[in-house]
Amino acid sequence: MTVTLADADRDLLGGAHGEAAAFAMRLMVRFAEAVGAPGFIDARSAHIDGCLYHGQVSLDFVEHLLALGGRVRVPTTLNVGSIDLIHPELFRGDGDLLTAGSRLMIAHEELGCVPSYTCAPYQTMFRPQLGWQIAWAESNAIVFANSVIGARTNRYGDFTDLCCAITGRVPNYGLHLTENRRARVVVEIADLPPEWSDAGPACVAVGHVIGRRCGERIPAIVGLPASTSEDDLKALGAVSASAGAVAMFHAVGLTPEAATLEDALQGERPEEVIRLTADDLRATVRDLSTVPDGTPLSAVSLGTPHFSTTEFERLVPLLSGSRPAVDMYVNTSRQVMEEVEARGWDTALRAAGVTVVLDTCTYVTTIMRDLSGAVMTNSGKMAYYAPGNLNVDVAFGSLADCVASARAGRVVRS
Amino acid sequence: MTGSAAVPIAAITLVPGTSDGPAFVLQEPLSFWGGLDATTGEITDRWHPQSRAILAGHVLVMESGRGSSSGSSVLAEAIRRGTGPAGIVMLTRDAIVTVGAMIAVELYDVSCPVVLVAAADWPTLVTAKRLTLDAGSQRATLTVR
């Protein structure tokens, strides 16, 4: 497998843009050989998940790039880190991790990355546009960019995301190419549970099924409710990328490369058709909870992926009334929080005793005070990861059910 | 190491370097993230048939990779600590393994060469006791003992 290098790539390798870019390009050429990419194209933006501490090598890599004079060459956002730098007192892990984790985040800023610290960079001013070639990490951001926006990225991750940012180049293979964005599987929703008033739970259920049954194949979903919002598609993608390796889906009539089913399939026949009934969706949602209704709760956790402005807009009216009996956490980004404050919603959040977590999230780091009982969430992704990452029981429910349960101190459903 | 039954095999370099060690043939793909303890070199994936085995110092023979891209960090961290494999022989290209080994050699100058072999040579490799890897920038040679 020979990788064809353009003049721009040779300049990078030869050190025309500094030693850090040469180092990063060397790594990317090996990467391109390993994935079978024939060459490179320009990246318009990058999103980096290396600011979450995995061990000494995470820090050594970034310090090495800094020592070589490294600087990102395209707009580059940062995923969540290990620490809420705005509220470091929330951190409950050990002191060495606090020091190394904080340094890792700051070192990325020194490389010129934007301190966005969010797993939802698509909710910032750095949101890409239809057709943009980008180099993104973080599974939910990847699936959102490809599916909901129609920007183009493969599943970049450790080291390669930052090397793309430092070189401004991305290997031209996989989902960067139109022909590989075709749906292979059709997921038909035959009917929706009539008792579900919003599209949220249905989207989480469909996302979960896709994750388990499609592998890396791209599905085209037919029959989502017309009321499906961008936040619902965000939740769908996030759980699909947690339960499986989904990097892209089409939602017919909702996402930009799927005006029709034929468009999503690019005129070809699907390899498989999966039909989901209301009972299938109910069963999937039921299985996301590891405890029965009525179970006492320690906490309610919202915003995985990070809460958007519109999700806060839905949450705030639900908070009026009696104060929650258990801890409520909402994970979000600095930029969304500024918007929340500008609209004056922070008063209602404070009055209800809600803890807003910035820069990080409640399942990648030790923040939640009390984990003796179950945790309730409206996030399929949180429900998928929390039992393993935090060793807790979870209850999954709609946003309204989460708030009602926080107030009751146990799992209740409307 | 001048064994009389040495058999040379031509391979493609994914990550250059030289190494020598006892062969460890993975019976199933292994995700380094969540499957390898970088502090001990132990396979920690309880569903893996070789769970609890120690990889350190062995030339790993694996058909393909598996799992999250965070596996690159775990592999690089294990190589840095000296608990990782001495070299890796693969039947299919894998970006996670390639990147992890590249990072280790670039940052720490600890080489864990990664090479790609042809399907025809696979039966010989899975019975190897000891493997020597000599991986140049593009072409590599394996010696099976």
- Candidates B98, B105, B110, B114: best to mutate against A (most CBs of A within 10 A) is B98
Instruction: Please judge whether B103 and A159 are an interchain contact, meaning their C-beta atoms are less than 8 angstroms apart.
Output: yes
Per-residue pLDDT of chain A (414 residues; tens, 9 = 90+): 689 999 999 999 999 999 999 999 999 999 999 889 999 999 999 999 988 888 899 999 999 999 999 999 999 999 998 888 888 888 777 788 889 999 999 999 999 999 999 999 999 999 999 999 999 999 999 999 999 999 999 999 889 999 999 999 999 999 999 999 999 999 999 999 999 988 999 999 999 999 989 988 999 999 999 899 999 999 999 999 888 889 999 999 999 999 999 999 999 999 999 999 999 999 999 999 999 999 999 999 999 999 999 999 999 999 998 999 999 999 999 999 999 999 999 999 999 999 999 998 887 667 888 888 999 999 999 998 888 777 899 999 999 999 999 999 999 998
- The β-bridge relationship of strands B130-135 and B139-144 is antiparallel
- As a 3-state breakdown, chain A gives helix, strand, coil percent values, each rounded to 5, of 40, 15, 45
pLDDT digits (tens, 9 = 90+) for B86-143: 999 999 988 889 999 999 999 999 999 999 999 999 999 999 999 999 999 999 999 9
Q: How much is the average pLDDT of B9-15?
A: 96
Residue in B103, B99, B94, B26 with CA at minimum distance from that of residue B60? B26
For residue A74, which of A118, A143, A121 has the smallest C-alpha distance? A121
- Candidates A161, A157, A140, A158; CA nearest to A149 is A140
Q: Are B133 and B13 in contact (CB under 8 A)?
A: no
CA distance A15 to B45: 42
pLDDT over 70 at B4, yes or no: no
Whole-number pLDDT of residue A401: 95
Return the CATH class of domain B7-144.
alpha beta
Domain boundaries, chain B: 7-144
Measuring CA to CA, how many Å separate B86 from each of A78, A376, A389?
A: 33, 45, 31
Give the pLDDT score at B2: 46
pTM of the complete model: 0.91
Say if the Cβ atoms of A34 and B103 lie within 8 Å: no
Residue A286 DSSP SS3: helix
State how far residue A261 is from chain B, nearest Cα, in angstroms: 31
Closest CA to B72 of B44, B36, B24: B36
| DSSP H/E element including A403 | helix A399-408
| Interface list for A 47-66 with B (CB within 8 A) | 54-58, 60-61, 64
Say if the Cβ atoms of B99 and A158 lie within 8 Å: yes
CA A319: distance to chain centroid?
A: 26
Given the cut 0.95, state whether the ipTM is greater than it.
no
Report the distance separating Cα B80 and Cα B74, nearest Å: 10
Residues 6+ apart with CB under 8 A from A190: A223, A275, A276, A277, A278
CA A165 – CA A46 distance, rounded (Å): 6
Question: What length is written for chain B?
Answer: 145
Partners of A219 in beta bridges: A185
| Residue B68: active-site member | yes
**Residue B61 confidence (pLDDT) above 70:** yes
Write down the pLDDT at residue A386.
Answer: 84
Q: Which of A54, A57, A79, A80 to probe the B interface (max B CBs under 10 A)? A: A57
B126 to chain A, minimum CA–CA distance in Å? 22
Taking CA–CA distances from B67, the nearest residue in chain A reads A245
- The answer for residues whose C-beta is within 8 angstroms of residue A49's C-beta and 6 or more apart is A79, A80, A137, A138, A157, A158, A161
Residues A254, A225: contact at Cβ < 8 Å?
Answer: no
Cis ω for the linkage preceding A305 (within 30 of 0) = yes
Distance of CA A302 to the CA centre of its chain: 14
Q: Are A26 and B106 a contacting pair at CB < 8 A?
A: yes
State the virtual CA torsion across B2, B7, B13, B15 in degrees, nearest 10.
-40
Task: Identify whether the C-beta of residue A172 lies closer than 8 Å to the C-beta of residue A42.
Answer: no
pLDDT for position B1: 46
Tokens of A109: 């800023």
Tell me how far apart the alpha carbons of residues A279 and A266 are, in angstroms, rounded to a whole number: 31
Structure tokens at A151: 């920007």
In this structure, the number of other CB atoms found within 10 A of the CB of residue A350 comes to: 11
Q: Which of A74, A264, A102 is nearest to A165 (CA)?
A: A74
pLDDT given for residue A1 in this prediction? 61
pLDDT at position B31: 85
Give the pLDDT confidence score for residue B5 in this predicted structure.
66
